[in-house]
Structure 1
Amino acid sequence: MSQQWLLNCGNNLVYLAVILLFATNLACVSSSSQIDVDADLKHMLSRCQKRDEDFNECMRQVFNDLRAYFTTGVPDYNIKPFDPHRCTFVELRRGDSQGLGSFRLILRNVSEFGWARSEVTKFYADPEDHRIVYAQYFPEKSLEGEYEFAAKMLGSEMNRKGHWNLTLYDYSQTTSVRRIGDPGSLIKVHVEVDRIGGMELHIENLLQGQPLNQLADGVINSMWQLGLPFIKPMINELVSSAFTDIFNESFRHFPLEKFLST
């Protein structure tokens, strides 16, 4: 097996690995029971005075206090749980099926864990632009599910499916949330990946045969950083689109002014 073959294979596997990594940021979960949510939210949010100089820091602390709801959601306000995320179907397509290169990735029955341990490290509110920006840190995030992958490159076809699992370490991102208009109007989200400190990924049946599949795991986990800079713009676009859907579903009609003090 030549060194060049390993390099080419490694690059392809890195691209698939990173795409697989970020295509799973969707929330498809069921709601659970809650206590007196209105009183609790009022207690947390009303302590942040919008005219105070420390409003941004106060809201950063509130965001972290809200982690108690990540595992339950807030059913009365149609906010779904964030930990774990559970999604039955995610699809990603790129390229023209009749062209020189294209791929289709489907993820099924995806579960994502780690949001309850995340921390909002920075928060900024821009009332005039109806926008908030916050940075979030995850010491560890894990995902698992089933995948189907089909690709066509220069006339050659690749079809794979199986189980996959992934763990991220020392991961952070910055999220910008902007409301386009008055309360109840659409929400636009942009997510920028800031850092991935470490990654462990296993993709079943990516290569034919157990020895080659173990080799693929080793190549992916040792070379993923090389492919990240080239596909980061696509990652940011993909995650931003997914989170725009999530925020509109869960937060578009949330009556924030009901709980904030003036």
Structure 2
Amino acid sequence: MCSAMTLLLLLFLFALGLVVPSVNSKQLPPYITPCRKSDPNLNECAKQRGNDAIPFLIRGDKAYKIPSFDPAHISLVDVDQGELKFKLKDMHMTGLNTTQILDAKLDFKNKHFYFKVFIDETKVVSRYEVSGKVASIAIEGEGPAEIISTNITVEYFFDYDLITKKDGKQYFNLDTLKSNLTAHVEKTHYNFGNLFGGNKLLGDNFNKFLNENTHELEDSAGKSNREIINAIVSSVFQGIFKNVSFDEMFLD
């Protein structure tokens, strides 16, 4: 889920027309119509224009260095929760084509942005490594994994300041950027192969345990997962904000 949120947040920032790719031409692709800061219905405009553009962006656009998100490819997600160490490698994710922007609030006066996004379902197929304990039960294994998550709601917001660089343009100040993210998944189905050295009985029983206790597991792992997702999304923002000026991102 962590990498899913990274790709998702990058995707809908492009869709809103708030991020202009760093290419020679500053013209947006024809399927993106940016909103103006002075628009009295700015938030609704951003939401609608974003949803209109998402189907095009899912397919990718090489001219603007936008990768394809169908499927999305993620090399590694690494989770260390003390008693539990967990890695997902070579992830292939489908389902981001169900992305919808539910809400957008762009507060330029108070320098505060908020986004709410919904995804019907994502499916991740990958390799995994796990060792440690889940709900006091020892677990170990390495092999194929399939994770299906349904009804995903993501809320992301950040506060920012602007600085003027040598080119005379204003940019986001990355040193003072403050962000936060919450993610809620209504249901997750896990299937990990080759658990406990290939012991099918133990593996089947543990997969059953995971799928019968998903909410309990998400509650216990929630803080760590939110921190990871937030850190990844923030790194995406920093890569964009470092190279694209504020005035090039937003129309007057």
Cα shift readout 1:239-260 (whole Å, capped 9, x = no counterpart): 1011112232345434563364
Question: Which one of the candidate residues 37, 41, 65 is aligned to 1:50?
Answer: 37
The 5-angstrom pairing of residues 1-262 of structure 1 reads: 21-22=1-2, 25-27=5-7, 38-40=27-29, 44-45=33-34, 48-67=35-54, 68-73=56-61, 75-76=63-64, 78-95=65-82, 102-151=83-132, 159-182=140-163, 183=171, 185-186=173-174, 188-193=178-183, 195-207=184-196, 208-250=198-240, 252-255=242-245, 257-258=247-248, 260-262=250-252
Q: Please state how far the C-alpha of 1:124 moved relative to its aligned partner.
A: 0.2
Say if 2:133 and 2:139, in contact at 8 Å, map to a contact too: yes
Give the 3-state SS of the residue equivalent to 2:162 in structure 1: coil
Q: Please state how far the C-alpha of 1:83 moved relative to its aligned partner.
A: 3.9
Say if 2:71 and 2:93, in contact at 8 Å, map to a contact too: yes
Question: Structure 1 length normalisation: TM-score?
Answer: 0.72
Q: Which runs of 5+ in 1 are unaligned?
A: 1-20, 28-35, 96-101
Question: Structure 2 length normalisation: TM-score?
Answer: 0.74
**Letter matched to residue 186 of structure 2:** G
User: In 2, distance between residues paired with 1:223 and 1:261?
Assistant: 48
User: In 2, distance between residues paired with 1:181 and 1:250?
Assistant: 14
1:152–1:188 CA distance, 2 compared to 1 (3 A): same
Task: State which drifts further: 229-238 or 166-175.
Answer: 229-238
1:87–1:139 CA distance, 2 compared to 1 (3 A): same
Say if 1:130 and 1:179, in contact at 8 Å, map to a contact too: yes
> What's the RMSD between the two structures over aligned residues?
3.1
Say if 1:24 and 1:107, in contact at 8 Å, map to a contact too: no
Q: Please state how far the C-alpha of 1:141 moved relative to its aligned partner.
A: 1.1
Give the 3-state SS of the residue equivalent to 1:44 in structure 2: coil
**2:13 alignment counterpart:** none
Q: Which runs of 5+ in 2 are unaligned?
A: 8-24, 164-170
What percentage of residue pairs aligned between the two structures are identical? 14
Cα shift readout 1:145-165 (whole Å, capped 9, x = no counterpart): 111123279xx9754211101
**Letter matched to residue 200 of structure 1:** H
Say if 1:106 and 1:149, in contact at 8 Å, map to a contact too: yes
1:37–1:164 CA distance, 2 compared to 1 (3 A): farther
Q: Which has the higher contact order (CA 8 A, sep 6+)?
A: 1
Q: Please state how far the C-alpha of 1:81 moved relative to its aligned partner.
A: 4.2
Q: Please state how far the C-alpha of 1:224 moved relative to its aligned partner.
A: 0.7
Q: Please state how far the C-alpha of 1:219 moved relative to its aligned partner.
A: 1.7
**2:166 alignment counterpart:** none
Task: Give the count of matched residue pairs.
Answer: 223
1:64–1:209 CA distance, 2 compared to 1 (3 A): same
